Amino acid sequence: MCIDYRALNAVTIKDSYVSPRIDEIYDALTDAGIFSVLDATSGYYQIAMEEKDKEKTAFSFKGRLYEFNRMPFGLCNAPATFQRTMDEIFSKENRMFVIPYLDDIIVYSKSRREHEKHLRIVLGKLKAAGLSLNEKKSKFFREQFKILGNIISKGMIKADPERIEKLLKYPEPKIMKELRSFLGTINYGREFIKDIAGLTAPLYELLKGERKSSTKSLVPNEKQKETFNKIKKTVSESTIRAQSQFDREFIVTTDASEIGIAVILSQKDSHGNEKMISTFSRTLQPAEKNYTVTEKELLGIVKGVNHFRHYLLGKNFILRTDHKALTFLWTAKHIKSRLIRWSLELSEYTFRIEYVKGEDNAADGLSRINPTLEVRSLSNNTLSHEEIAEILEEYHKISGHGSPNTMKFMVRQTHRWSGMFKDIDEHCSRCLTCLQAGNGRVNTKTKVIHTSHENDLWQIDLIGRLQDKEKNGFIFVAIDHYSKWIETKVLERKTSAEIIKAIEELIIRKHGIPKRILSDMGLEFNNKEVLALQEKYFLKWEFASPYHHQTTGAVERGIQSLFNILKRQTNYGEKNWKPWVERATLAYNLSYNRAIGTSPYIFKNGSQKIFEIDKKLGVKPKNYSKQVLIQRRDENFKKYEKK
């Protein structure tokens, strides 16, 4: 049963919790050879509705009014609620041998014996949570399984033969609407096909200026008719790609033409045979078609490397491209601002070049694009096992037992070695404190607040009262909305005098007088003493509505992240929390923040913090251009604004 909840959904605050990306699922399954896919019986109906929300689901049937006791289909937040529930159930096992994906639970293992053990754990967790499975739809001990139109087996991703067959039988489109439908179907397999954008470009030319629902008749020329058949032939021949192996070197091959750019991500297997992992392509925008040949080649490199950023950042990889493009970039005396921006983007990566044409293409070595714009000093690939172990141990402590992604961001700022990401994953997976903590995801809904510079808006709040073996207390938390920089102070009491002292010490003396301060309407913030502070410094003080907590979402999310770090550092209350607040604050400021595209520490200081282990290995700070950091932050803000 599915009710029309469009009116209810229109006034519902949307839940920002997201399901795993399909490419993340593929990467997690790389080494697995045995799979089970468990189907939750009528998944949503297994989630109980809160009493206060039941009336909102009411519907009429044959003159009588009914309401749901269990979460119905059709609610806009139902998928996010179910995904969060499954992630919480498997918080310790997620991405180790199980991936919940909506109402499917993927269990994966290297061997049958290991799989039996993993299944017992998963089924036990489901039983404890009171969730049931659909036995007929669940599949056990399979060597391959189907997900979102692809078939997964050990190390390989195959296109579903049924979908390929339907595509081959697709009749030649007669009207615009049919052509648009055909091109949409082709997009399903775009990661299997090199330069799909260039291949389909002649057909997209027919759609220019036409409405999506247009039933206008098509008048294709001979080239466009040939393109239709060529696409079907290419799709039928491009049905297999390999899964990524993070302990092997990636190869990025780029190409550019007058109409588009194309990129292939590949790796060599244990026999030295090169296997395609994924592809990326797109047609050129009108302005890009005016670029020089060299600029088009550079555009292909930058867009391709950034598209596969999650594979390449922090690893050495091979870049196959035209010799002249990169040579031009680092030798040109008068360089356009666009090329400066591209060179800065590429300078984040470490790669060696394989020149694919020309007789002077024998040179290789690590590429350092325009080193005067961004200076880096990294420890090299000759680190001993003992040094690597020491780096991992120290950075894991510094990060406050951070997640693998947090660790990868922090470590790659100052160190590189072969297999670094795999070593970090393994180190985090063996940490008992991290296993106890689970994934620690924080998904507070946040209202978009516009700020134009640092110290424009500080959001403040309190954590506590917190229990301590010696004495209870609170943590004053202040977050600069623009840079996400966090300041904290331990308070014995939450009086207005303590609050004012913290604001003057942490914000005004350190960062200057802010333009605005935002808080909730708690009595400790809304009183005569605080009003006197506003008048003293000409502060604009704003209060968040008590019915719209998303207004203070940034500080609430920061508090939850900080609290998670603090819990891990104090081993869940076994140690006194007060001495650890400063370290937890540093760990937060050093961690990657998606809203600004880097860490608050790097954004504020323009360089990565160097620790004793780094000094011991001769590592110097990596410096960043403030202009580039601001540009990256603004781009990320626009993405958040659209969500």
User: What integer pLDDT is reported at residue 505 of this predicted model?
Assistant: 93
What is the average per-residue pLDDT within 51-55?
89
Is residue 637 situated within a structural domain? no
343 and 396 part of one domain: no
Asked if the structure places residue 624 within a domain, the reply is no
Q: Residues with Cβ < 8 Å from 75, sequence gap 6 or more? A: 5, 8, 9, 12, 57
Question: Which residue, chain included where needed, has tokens 């070049």?
Answer: 353
Are 56 and 100 in a shared domain? yes
Q: Are residues 342 and 405 in the same domain?
A: no
pLDDT in tens, 321-367: 765 666 555 555 555 667 777 776 777 777 787 776 533 322 222 22
DSSP per-residue string spanning 462-473: EEEEEP-SS--E
- pLDDT at residue 288 is higher than 70: yes
In a domain, 37, yes or no: yes
Q: How far is CA 639 from the centre of its chain?
A: 12
Q: Are residues 340 and 401 in the same domain?
A: no
Last residue of a domain, one of 241, 273, 295: 241
CB distance 203 to 179 below 8 Å: yes
Which of 591, 618, 634 finishes a domain? 591
Shared domain for 50 and 171, answered yes or no, is: no
Asked whether residue 626 is domain-assigned, the answer is no
Residues 554 and 465 in one domain: yes
Q: Is 216 found in the same domain as 248?
A: no
Among 45-59, 226-240, 361-375, 587-601, the least confident range: 361-375
Cβ atoms of 78 and 103 closer than 8 Å:
no
Same domain, 342 and 264: yes
Q: Of 451, 378, 405, 374, which is closest to residue 629 (Cα–Cα)?
A: 374
Domain shared by 38 and 83, yes or no: yes
Answer whether residue 600 is part of any domain: no
The span from the CA of 308 to the CA of 310, in Å, is 6
Average pLDDT of span 447-460: 81
pLDDT-above-90 percentage for the chain: 10
Rounded to the nearest 5 degrees, what angle is found at the Cα of 274, between the Cα atoms of 268 and 275? 95
- Give the model's pLDDT for residue 375: 32
Burial of 395 (0-12, 13-18, 19+ CB in 10 A): buried
Same domain, yes or no, for 332 and 415? Answer: no
Residue where a domain stops, chosen among 215, 241, 267: 241
State the residue range of the domain holding 236: 161-241
Let me know whether 324 and 393 are in one domain: no
CATH number of 542's domain? 3.30.420.10
Confidence of residue 204 (pLDDT cuts 50, 70, 90): confident
Query: 621 in a domain, yes or no?
Result: no
Considering its fold, how many domains does the chain have in total? 5
Cβ of 615: how many Cβ atoms within 10 Å? 10
Residue 640 lies in a domain: no
How far is residue 532's CA from residue 512's CA, in Å, rounded to a whole number? 18
Confidence at residue 441, expressed as pLDDT on a 0 to 100 scale: 47
The number of angstroms, rounded, from the C-alpha of 228 to the middle of its chain's C-alpha atoms is 36
The tokens for 224 are 């466009």
Task: Based on the fold, state whether residues 289 and 168 are members of the same structural domain.
Answer: no
